[in-house]
Amino acid sequence: MAMFGVGRKPVVSVLRLSGVISAGAGLGRRGLSLETLAAPIQHAFTGRRVKAVALSINSPGGSPVQSALIADRIQQWAEQKDLPVYAFCEDAAASGGYWLACAADHVYAMPGSIVGSIGVVSASFGFQDAIGKLGVERRVHTAGERKAMLDPFRPEKEDEVERLKAIQGELHRQFIEWVKARRGPRLKAEDETLFSGEFWTGARGLELGLVDGLGDMRSTLRQVFGDKTRFRLMNPPKGRLARFFGGAAQTPAAPASWGGLGAGLADGLLAAAEERALWTRLGL
Give me the pLDDT at residue 128, please.
64
Count the helices and strands in the chain (H runs, E runs): 10, 8
The residue ranking higher by pLDDT, 228 or 241, is 228
Mean pLDDT of the chain, nearest integer:
80
- CB-count exposure of residue 150 (10 Å: 0-12, 13-18, 19+): middle
Give me the pLDDT at residue 45, please.
96
Q: Can you tell me the distance from the alpha carbon of 228 to that of 9, in angstroms, rounded to the nearest whole number?
A: 6
Give me the pLDDT at residue 130, please.
67
Give me the pLDDT at residue 32, please.
92
Q: Is the pLDDT of residue 86 over 50?
A: yes
Q: Is the pLDDT of residue 85 over 80?
A: yes
Q: pLDDT category, 215, cuts 50, 70, 90?
A: very high
pLDDT mean over 232-245: 61
Amino acid identity at 66: Q
Give me the pLDDT at residue 264, please.
46
| Rounded to 5°, angle at Cα 200 from 195 and 205 | 85
Q: Rank 39-53, 157-171, 261-275 by mean pLDDT and report only the highest.
A: 39-53
Q: Can you tell me the distance from the alpha carbon of 43 to that of 179, in angstroms, rounded to the nearest whole number?
A: 26
Q: pLDDT category, 144, cuts 50, 70, 90?
A: low
Q: Is the pLDDT of residue 238 over 90?
A: no
| Closest by Cα among 66, 69, 71, 39 to 55 | 71
pLDDT mean over 249-273: 44
Q: Can you tell me the distance from the alpha carbon of 178 to that of 94, in angstroms, rounded to the nearest whole number?
A: 14
Q: pLDDT category, 99, cuts 50, 70, 90?
A: very high
Q: Can you tell me the distance from the alpha carbon of 263 to that of 268, in angstroms, rounded to the nearest whole number?
A: 9
Give the SS3 label for residue 199: strand
pLDDT mean over 26-30: 47
Q: Is the pLDDT of residue 21 over 90?
A: yes
Using only C-alpha atoms, the chain has a radius of gyration, in whole angstroms, of: 22
Q: How far is CA 236 from the centre of its chain?
A: 17
Q: Is the pLDDT of residue 36 over 90?
A: yes
| Rounded to 5°, angle at Cα 206 from 204 and 210 | 100
Per-residue pLDDT reduced to its tens digit, 46-56: 978 899 999 99
Please state the length of the chain. 284
Domains and CATH numbers, the chain: 11-117+198-281 (3.90.226.10)
Q: Is the pLDDT of residue 140 over 80?
A: no
Per-residue pLDDT reduced to its tens digit, 62-81: 999 999 999 999 999 999 99
The pairing of beta strand 114-116 with beta strand 199-201: antiparallel
